[in-house]
Amino acid sequence: MKFRGGHNLLLQGRPDGMIKLMPEPDVLYLPLRSRRFSFAELCVEEGQQVNGGDVLARDLDNYSVPLLAPRAGRVFLNEQEGHIVLKDVARHAGHADIEDEDLPHIAQEMGASGIKRYRLLTLGAWQFFYDAYSGELPDPLGRPQAIIVSTLSLEPFLARGDAQLHNRLLNFTRGLEQLQSLLEYQPIYLVMPDIKSEFANLIRNHIRGYASVKMLEIPLTYPYDDFSILVRRLGLKRSEGPVWSVRTEGVLAVDRALTLSKPSLVRIISIGGTGIKNPTHISVMPGYPIQRIRDKYIFEPVSRIINGGILTGEQLGPDSLGLDTECRGLTVLPELQEREFLGFIRPGWDRSSYAACFLSSLRDKFRERLSTGLHGEGRPCVSCNFCEDVCPAGITPHLIHKYLYRDLIEEVEQARVDLCIECGLCSYVCPSKIDLRSQIIDSKALIAQEKEEIRKEQLRQEELRKQEEARKQAEENIE
């Protein structure tokens, strides 16, 4: 496969391959919002006792994806804004399964594969699936043209597939077989860093005869593991149906849900970044109090905690108390506070840059210690074209920036701003410190809104026309 653009950031604080257990919490703070979901429909009452695996809330806009209770405990709804608080937390075997009386009804409606899909949804495995084109949650009852399984996470620093797969290869291959059973003859693409490795051969031997998996080798450059990039490079057409995409974790959750009928309540997330003492992976449940992780791992007093990776994650404010259900990793960066004396003429032995303007380009690749500093003042665009060079989607960020400056929305649309995958590399390399990523995201939203308005207007006019016709018809009838 041919890729374009991309750039690897080498930073200090890469998590090691270990998985550490965190102590069981007494209280869980389950956020009602995450990147894709908003669990607005509450299914429990204040003070109710729940078991691990019970449904606490649902997101009705996203095929009723459930928010499962990771542990048994007592529910408090109004204690913290935007959170469901679970107190007196105790470890109990999860029991959630489809109620027996529901089964015949579902089987009648959706068939055998329908039951499996229903199980994925109710046991919390479905939330690991993404639509490769839009990044949204796909329809669980839809018919995908392919499934992309990625074992990679190239953004620093998200949970690594190899760490999550540790000792669980069997579960992974069983999960792949389960995925295959959801399909008719559509292919599964398995994205790996090295398809000739022993590990890849092991997977091949395991699934031989059970699943038709095509292995794809992709270079380890950020953000080639992005699903919308992969789907474009694979040449899959949107008109031929959705493409489901899922990461290692999702396959393991599928295995758990379909083979063992158990919900996936614990996740393996990474904690990394310059502000972490021992960057590693931890095994935690959603709702785990951030303060406890903070006490144990974070050593920088003034630091920024990011939910997700360095380039696309969201900053966690003081009002977010627990991990959300979609968290793939926490990244901690020290906040820049000091002003550097004559910063721009320093040799820069320890700073690496996309432009080879520092002395560090003479040395081997190294992991750099970075903070949240902007490293310069905002300036007008000088058309250095760095942003276009790194853009993996093949669009021209600086041109879109200039169009936006002149309010040329139609041209922005023509420049295919919708192909942007929001990887953040353009903002990263910009020497003029223009926040291209957020400008592009804003313009995408603006265009979507305008399209929606146009569609509504068309519907309204259609309605009017129909009414007019009906009226004329009625008049004619009278005549």
Site residues (CB under 8 A) for other proteins, limited to 322-341: 331, 333, 335-341
- Phi and psi, residue 25, nearest 5°: -85, 160
Distance CA 4, CA 7 (A): 10
The reply on whether position 437 binds other proteins by CB under 8 A is yes
| Residue window 282-301: x/- pattern of binding to other proteins, with contact defined by CB under 8 A | --------------------
Which tokens go with 362? 């003479």
Binding to other proteins in span 375-394, by CB under 8 A: 375-377, 379-386, 388, 394
Cα 406 from chain centroid?
Answer: 33
| Residue with Cβ nearer other proteins (46 or 410) | 410
Stretch that binds other proteins, among 14-22, 76-84, 86-94, 424-432 (CB under 8 A): 424-432
| Short-list 114, 92, 89, CA closest to 104 | 114
Binding to other proteins in span 216-245, by CB under 8 A: 232, 237-239
Stretch that binds other proteins, among 18-26, 100-108, 160-168, 307-315 (CB under 8 A): 307-315
Distance CA 43, CA 451 (A): 35
- Least distance to other proteins, CB of residue 175, Å: 28
Sign of CA dihedral 272, 274, 275, 279: positive
Size of the site for other proteins (CB under 8 A): 77
Residue from 150, 248, 432, 439 in contact with other proteins (CB under 8 A): 432
Distance CA 236, CA 247 (A): 19
- Least distance to other proteins, CB of residue 303, Å: 11
The reply on whether position 347 binds other proteins by CB under 8 A is no
Q: Running DSSP on this structure, what letter comes out for residue 208?
A: T
Residue from 438, 449, 458, 473 in contact with other proteins (CB under 8 A): 438
| Residue with Cβ nearer other proteins (99 or 314) | 314
The reply on whether position 21 binds other proteins by CB under 8 A is no
| Residue with Cβ nearer other proteins (158 or 425) | 425
Q: Are 258 and 154 in contact (CB under 8 A)?
A: no
Binding to other proteins in span 125-154, by CB under 8 A: 133
CA distances to 406, 411, 439, 449 from 402, rounded to whole Å, are 6, 10, 11, 21
In the sheet with 267-272, reading across from the earlier edge strand, the strands are 19-21, 280-284, 267-272, 329-334, 303-307, 314-315
| Residue with Cβ nearer other proteins (75 or 243) | 243
In the sheet with 55-59, reading across from the earlier edge strand, the strands are 41-42, 55-59, 65-68
- Least distance to other proteins, CB of residue 4, Å: 12
The reply on whether position 316 binds other proteins by CB under 8 A is no
Residue from 370, 391, 412, 420 in contact with other proteins (CB under 8 A): 370
The H or E element spanning position 90 is: strand 83-90
- Least distance to other proteins, CB of residue 412, Å: 11
For 375-411, b where at least 16 C-beta lie within 10 A, e where not — what string? eeeeeebeeeebbbebbbbebbbbbbbbbbeeeeeee
- Least distance to other proteins, CB of residue 57, Å: 27
The reply on whether position 344 binds other proteins by CB under 8 A is yes
